[in-house]
């Protein structure tokens, strides 16, 4: 991801960006940072960038012209302009106490972009006209006022960057920490066993994984209830629906897993509607229909896909702007599936295979497949160092994108790839599942061979 920062204090930003984990991400090329000094674009001979506020009032305001010219310089050098030859709008974030509160959900959403611009204000703010011209999002990091936008911009950059695959080094750690699943993280301890007369809790010293997990959950619940009753309410609601959805796990796995993995947010309860910001997706209880206008009014900005039961899907497909893409069955891993340790040559695919994956994955198109490779969620299987096929995880969490090259079929490679993905999900504490188009006979056969259980209700995918 390329991050541009427009600021009057470039040293401040450079320091923050080149320290610790962000610094390493820059060195590894996972992040590239471009810090632009707005003062360099001042037309004033003394480099002045501020002036008095029309209508009176204390303090000075940053003028429109230097900010606009600094932004234009970034836009002209933008990755989007260079790569695609088109002038796409880069998400440009103005950090301001008057913005929307910045949350983990926003971080997930911004982490999907290839390039971002952060605009840092100073003095009393920035002339509104340039903000209207260039800014796409306004965010605040909290209900307090800081002396400038540099610290908030660094806070947001940190929260976004750690979600980029490879930045944390440990892929799993980003999705099990605080704010996933609406619980604050439990207390943790390291050596020595006794410090200042205080001992590490006995259950952690004993190290029985089941007991440790139960203790951690209890502590996380206690802490959240005490410190963040608002979050605790959401957590209890989530737990309630998890229990409900478990009653028909095979048909509900897509909603269930989004709540368990903490990627879904409940936006309606009767019927249950879940929004997954990370995939611009909305899912509705598959046994329910609702009034179309009421449903449309629930959709957050930017929603791209909808998953509903077949009956409601038949109604929605006739709504203007919505088109049906496919009907699927869920396939859900259960304890009965034989867990196979795969010792084939399976590798995470890097950019050099993006074109191969794009060319061979037909269902959702070239661009979709290439994006998944870039997100670091497609694995390839190799035979004698030659790629023989691949598998991936869709944005909402289901295993899919399975492809085996004609020359390598009937050798069990598809089953190997599936087993590999099952193991990855299970190790990360997730229930593996996939969705199969209802007439994809080969894939259904594979699921049955693997012992994976299919749902008996048809789900319809629609796109806006
Ligand atoms: N600039 C000054 N205070 C801020 C805040 N709380 N959030 C974002 N930008 C700011």
- 282/102 Cα distance (integer angstroms): 21
Ligand 1 atom at minimal distance to the Cα of residue 142: 6
Please list the residues that pair with 436 across neighbouring strands.
329
How many domains does the chain fold into?
A: 3
- Please check whether residue 134 lies inside any domain of the structure: yes
238 and 220 fall within a common domain: no
- Please check whether residue 255 lies inside any domain of the structure: yes
Q: How many residues does the chain have?
A: 464
- 418/338 Cα distance (integer angstroms): 12
236 and 199 fall within a common domain: no
Any ligand 1 atom below 6 A from CB of 140? yes
pLDDT confidence of residue 148: 96
54 and 102 fall within a common domain: yes
Which of 457, 464, 463 is CA-nearest to residue 311? 457
Residue ending a domain, choose from 113, 139, 161: 161
Ligand 1 atom at minimal distance to the Cα of residue 144: 6
CA angle 363, 368, 372 (to 5 degrees): 115
273 and 286 fall within a common domain: yes
Q: Are 211 and 292 in contact (CB under 8 A)?
A: no
> pLDDT tens digit string along 355-396?
999 999 988 889 999 999 988 899 999 999 999 999 999 989
**Centre of ligand 1 from the C-alpha of residue 170, in Å:** 31
- Please check whether residue 118 lies inside any domain of the structure: yes
**Centre of ligand 1 from the C-alpha of residue 31, in Å:** 24
77 and 128 fall within a common domain: yes
**Centre of ligand 1 from the C-alpha of residue 41, in Å:** 23
> pLDDT tens digit string along 250-290?
999 999 999 998 889 999 999 999 999 888 999 999 999 99
- Please check whether residue 431 lies inside any domain of the structure: no
We report the CATH number of the domain holding residue 86 as 3.40.1280.10
- Please check whether residue 326 lies inside any domain of the structure: yes
Any ligand 1 atom below 6 A from CB of 97? yes
We report the CATH number of the domain holding residue 209 as 1.10.1270.20
Any ligand 1 atom below 6 A from CB of 146? yes
Residue 175 has pLDDT above 80, yes or no: no
pLDDT confidence of residue 337: 81
93 and 16 fall within a common domain: yes
- Please check whether residue 349 lies inside any domain of the structure: no
Once rounded to an integer, what is the mean pLDDT over residues 222-231?
A: 96
15 and 141 fall within a common domain: yes
Residue ending a domain, choose from 308, 333, 358: 333
Chain centroid to CA 92: 19
- Please check whether residue 317 lies inside any domain of the structure: yes
Chain centroid to CA 89: 21
> pLDDT tens digit string along 135-155?
999 999 999 999 999 999 999
**Centre of ligand 1 from the C-alpha of residue 125, in Å:** 10
Q: Which range of residues forms the domain containing residue 82? A: 2-161
- Please check whether residue 450 lies inside any domain of the structure: no
Residue ending a domain, choose from 333, 353, 374: 333
296 and 315 fall within a common domain: yes
pLDDT confidence of residue 83: 55
Nearest CA to ligand 1 atom 4: 97
**Centre of ligand 1 from the C-alpha of residue 4, in Å:** 18
Residue 228 has pLDDT above 50, yes or no: yes
Nearest CA to ligand 1 atom 2: 146
116 and 203 fall within a common domain: no
- 63/42 Cα distance (integer angstroms): 9
Nearest CA to ligand 1 atom 7: 140
Task: Look at 200 and 171; give whichever has higher pLDDT.
Answer: 200
234 and 223 fall within a common domain: no
Among 145, 155, 158, which is best to mutate for testing ligand 1, by the most ligand atoms less than 8 A from CB?
Answer: 145
96 and 221 fall within a common domain: no
126 and 25 fall within a common domain: yes
């Amino acid at each position: 991801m390329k991050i541009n920062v427009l600021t009057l204090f470039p040293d401040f930003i450079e320091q923050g960006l080149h320290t610790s984990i962000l610094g390493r991400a820059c060195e590894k090329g996972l992040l590239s940072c471009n810090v632009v000094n707005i003062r360099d674009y001042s037309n004033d001979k003394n480099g002045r960038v501020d002036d008095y506020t029309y209508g009176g009032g204390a303090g000075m305001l940053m003028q429109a012209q230097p900010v606009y010219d600094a932004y234009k310089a970034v836009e002209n050098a933008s990755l989007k302009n260079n790569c695609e030859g088109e002038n796409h709008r880069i998400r440009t974030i103005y950090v301001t106490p008057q913005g929307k509160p910045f949350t983990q959900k926003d971080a997930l959403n911004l982490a999907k972009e290839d390039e971002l611009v952060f605009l840092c204000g100073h003095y009393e703010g920035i002339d509104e006209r340039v903000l209207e011209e260039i800014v796409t999002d306004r965010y605040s990091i909290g209900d307090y006022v800081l002396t400038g936008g540099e610290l908030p911009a660094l806070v947001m950059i940190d929260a976004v960057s750690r979600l980029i695959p490879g930045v944390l080094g440990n892929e799993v750690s980003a999705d099990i920490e605080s704010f996933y699943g609406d619980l604050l993280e439990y207390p943790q301890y390291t050596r020595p066993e006794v410090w200042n007369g205080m001992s590490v809790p006995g259950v952690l010293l004993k190290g029985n994984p089941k007991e440790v997990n139960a203790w951690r959950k209890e502590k996380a619940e206690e802490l959240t209830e005490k410190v963040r009753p608002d979050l605790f309410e959401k957590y209890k609601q989530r737990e309630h629906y998890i229990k409900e959805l478990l009653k028909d796990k095979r048909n509900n796995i897509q909603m269930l897993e989004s709540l368990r993995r903490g990627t879904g947010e409940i936006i309606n309860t009767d019927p249950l509607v879940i929004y997954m910001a990370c995939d611009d997706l909305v899912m509705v209880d598959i046994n329910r229909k609702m009034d179309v206008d009421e449903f449309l009014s629930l959709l957050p900005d930017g929603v791209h896909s909808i998953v509903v039961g077949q009956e409601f899907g038949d109604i929605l497909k006739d709504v203007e702007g919505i088109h049906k893409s496919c009907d699927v069955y869920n396939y859900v891993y259960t304890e009965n599936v034989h867990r196979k340790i795969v010792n084939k040559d399976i590798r995470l695919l890097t950019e050099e295979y993006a074109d191969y994956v794009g060319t061979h994955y037909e269902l959702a198109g070239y661009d979709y497949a290439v994006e998944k490779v870039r997100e670091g969620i497609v694995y390839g299987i190799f035979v004698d160092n030659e790629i023989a096929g691949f598998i991936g995880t869709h944005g909402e969490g289901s295993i899919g994108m399975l492809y085996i090259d004609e020359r390598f079929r009937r050798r069990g490679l598809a089953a190997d790839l599936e087993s590999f993905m099952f193991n990855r999900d299970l190790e990360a504490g997730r229930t593996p599942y996939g969705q199969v188009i209802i007439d994809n006979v080969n894939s259904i056969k594979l699921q049955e061979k693997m012992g994976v259980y299919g749902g008996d209700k048809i789900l319809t995918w629609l796109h806006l």
